[in-house]
Amino acid sequence: MTTTTVQEPRDAHPPSRLLTLAEPGRALGELASFYALRPLMGMLPKGDGHGVLVLPGFMASDYSTGPLRKLLCDLGYECAGWNLGRNVRVDNARIEAMMACVDELHEDTGRAISIVGWSLGGVFARELAKQAPSKVRQVISLGSPISDDRNHTNARRLFEYLNGAEPEPMRNGNFRKLAEAPPVPTTSILTRTDGVVHWRGSVQHGAENGHREVENIEVVASHCGLGVNPAAVYAIADRLAQPEGEWRPFEAKGLAGLMFPKGRLH
């Protein structure tokens, strides 16, 4: 089920402590499900060979995105990690290094690339697409805190301890409109049972600025398992397989529809 319903303003707050404590066990279960279903994932829509850059979440590295990247390579994409170690610091040098990743993959494939970003990686994906929209085909974020209010995440204190309340890019005028979608097709995959980023902080809006190629896809998942959650993986493969320039909102058909909640995000 997808929706771009605009929600009523609410006080931002992180997920419940119970959801946070349940994250490790749930993520392990999702990883087990991913590998159990891996043989069937060869039936997912095949790629057209365009480049896909996958960015890890806060405090994570390419190791966390390895299973997803291997699958995308097997489906026919030119898939790449960021090769920048752990996602800890948010400074100008890191942004320049990520842009170099975009430039390199774009040049190697000769085509606009897609960027898939998990958690903080999704924030980066959206901002990179704003800086170089001609090189980015679409953006897919997974449980990303795309609200301008950091109170939606329980990682706020650690993030600000490591990067300050105003990271270097913000002091240069960037990263100040996180809620504004980039000018390319943009999908936010989120879960109401996220134990790190409250799901309301991952809902994106497009109608207010006239941008229609935005959507939210809800799955049942943990935050730390989103990159291997079978429903999220199905949605990622479906989005990436769309012909360039022919974006359509997500619609799970047949039995696949059972994996996606039918409620509205409000």
**Cα 82 to chain centroid, rounded:** 14
Query: pLDDT digits over 126-179, tens only?
Result: 999 999 999 999 999 999 999 989 999 999 999 999 999 888 888 887 888 899
Fold of 14-259: Rossmann fold (3.40.50)
Taking 90 as the threshold, does the pLDDT of residue 246 lie above it? yes
Q: Identify the CA nearest to 32 among candidates 234, 256, 230, 231.
A: 230
Q: How confident is the model at residue 207 (pLDDT cuts 50, 70, 90)?
A: low
pTM for the model stands at: 0.93
Cα–Cα distance between 208 and 206 in angstroms, integer?
A: 6
pLDDT at 209: 53
Please, are residues 202 and 232 in contact by the beta-carbon 8 Å criterion?
no
Q: Average model confidence (pLDDT) for the chain?
A: 92
Query: pLDDT digits over 113-124, tens only?
Result: 999 999 999 999
Q: Where are the beta strands (DSSP E) in the chain?
A: 2-3, 51-55, 78-80, 113-118, 136-142, 186-190, 214-218
pLDDT at 6: 39
pLDDT at 215: 94
Q: How many CA atoms lie within 13 A of 37 on its CB side?
A: 16
pLDDT at 266: 60
Q: Identify the CA nearest to 53 among candidates 126, 130, 114.
A: 114
Taking 50 as the threshold, does the pLDDT of residue 7 lie above it? no
pLDDT at 148: 87
